[in-house]
Structure 1
Amino acid sequence: MPLYTVDVYSGSSDSIIRDPHADGVIVKATQGTGYVNPRCNHQWELAGQLGKLRGLYHYAGGGNPVSEAQFFINNIRNYVGQGVLILDWESYQNASWGNANWARHFVEEVHRLTGVWPAIYVQESAIWQVANCADVCPLWVAWYASMNWNSWTLPNYTPKTGAFKFLTGWQFTGGDMDRSIWYLDAAAWDKFAKANVANPTPAPQPKVDQAKPVVKPQTTWTDNLGDTWHAEDGKFISNTALHLRWGARPSASTIAVLPAGSVIKYDAWSRGNEFVYVRQPRGNGYGYVAVRNAKTGEAYGKFE
């Protein structure tokens, strides 16, 4: 049997939580790195008292995704494992709307801290912006037949899923209240909430230039060109020829032209105005490769 839920924020009436049609309640917890829902604890506890399944969501502000993930988890740490965790990816008040990489970095940090992969809430037309989370995250799509669809009866429609194999949840109305259907039972909901909570992944350790003394490991830093870098050990396989350069700029000198199918092992990435670059450690320093169009989100291969 599917589950039906409502989602609430600070301005929501308790009557929404008490609605007898709702099997579960999803509560807004945080937004950006500065807002905490002042009624979050009350709404969470009321849902629990009523015996409803629960979830908590973070509304993306579009700042540093790692910092936002840490802010979210720091504020709901005592509830981790008791409810499904969710990233709310919307355009309003989101400085990174259109960035096809932001959500991935957010969910990876949540997983590192908790062992849980959060679900992602997104409007149907913007699923492409979170497509690179399809291998690890459940999808919760928003699509309304009408803003006046004030009913628990589903519209005659099947939402699209984009790169995601399955539709896990569908928010089908947002008029008088946000109603959703989840194609899960209570046991599956609980599994999404608790997956590997006891065994979070250890923090990634960045590679460093051994010619320079290291005082403290860093996972994020700004170089002398003003670019922000994030430590991440990974592998990228190109689907087209790419330039390996001495710097993370289109104007930087070329070290080599890498043919399609090249395997690029990297230890950090940075998002510029035009491209997303990865940093490849080399015997005499580093090489830099543009692996994604920063404006369109198009990747020039796949990440492994």
Structure 2
Amino acid sequence: MTAGKITAAGTTAVHNATILTDALRLALEQAQAQVNALVLGKAQAVRLAFVALLSDGHLLIEDLPGLGKTTLAHALAATLGLEFQRVQFTSDLLPADVVGVSVFDPQSRQFQFHPGPVFTQVLLADEINRAPPRTQSALLEAMAEHQVTVDGRTHPLPDPFFVIATQNPVDLSGTYPLPDSQLDRFLLRLQLGYPDEAAERDLLAGADRRNLIAQTKPVLSTDDVLAIRRAVDAVYVSDSLIHYVQALLARSRKHPGVRVGLSPRAGLALLRAARAYALLLGRAHVVPEDVQALFAAVASHRLVAEADAAPDIAKSILYAVTVD
């Protein structure tokens, strides 16, 4: 697999120019550094979390308990100055416990809507696959439409609205696998894994992460996050790179280990994430390396294949397609 060069007729210097103000670019760099100081030894995972948020997507983290999934969500929200809510998904959790419920008010003789924890800017859906499918599906409309409908009335969610869902590996007891339609709502899926030895020693010798996060001061504001999202939309993608992404989609549909390949929506998700990834690296244009760095995180949970084989299949697809 080669990186190649991305060129296109009519490309102008504006595509290489910065699309963030110096102050906002510096604040974004400081925000990443602050989260990395709280989530030790996971720089790429932190970058992908920023990618998901700045792409107006959602993030699914699948890993064993105790590896920093909740810490990452808390640290990200605190650093960006966003309102945060956490819901512990359990087998007895009801949809109304997530989205809210209408309660009859005897004084006004009307039903009053009481918003659930989904009405926030960063929602941590902790251990989402421990809740039954009906409760899992309560998030479908919220994640896709940024709104909630209860008793025929639609209630908009805050902007930005970002879901970080964690799930335990599917072979653990008491789990309900997420359906394909729900998995597709997540822009990226990643695993944190165990920290390296140096990071683990720092964790063991350092202060409690919860106390550090509680003392964290925001580096960005809601307005800053929305401004960066607008900048992501302006990141340039050439025709050649679009052809490359389409070739990856086509290859996924022909792979012998895949029953159902990637959809056009998966391609759009890959391009959207690549724009944010390029911006985080200080570029206003996407290069093939951006797509390659994100492909497994975008594709592995969308490929209909054996669960354990999907990540390896995603890598084999990536290496089978060259850049023109």
Could you state the TM-score of these two structures normalised by the residue count of structure 2?
Answer: 0.29
Higher strand share goes to which structure?
1
Could you state the TM-score of these two structures normalised by the residue count of structure 1?
Answer: 0.30
Higher helix share goes to which structure?
2
Q: Greater relative contact order: 1 or 2 (C-alpha under 8 angstroms, separation 6 or more)?
A: 2
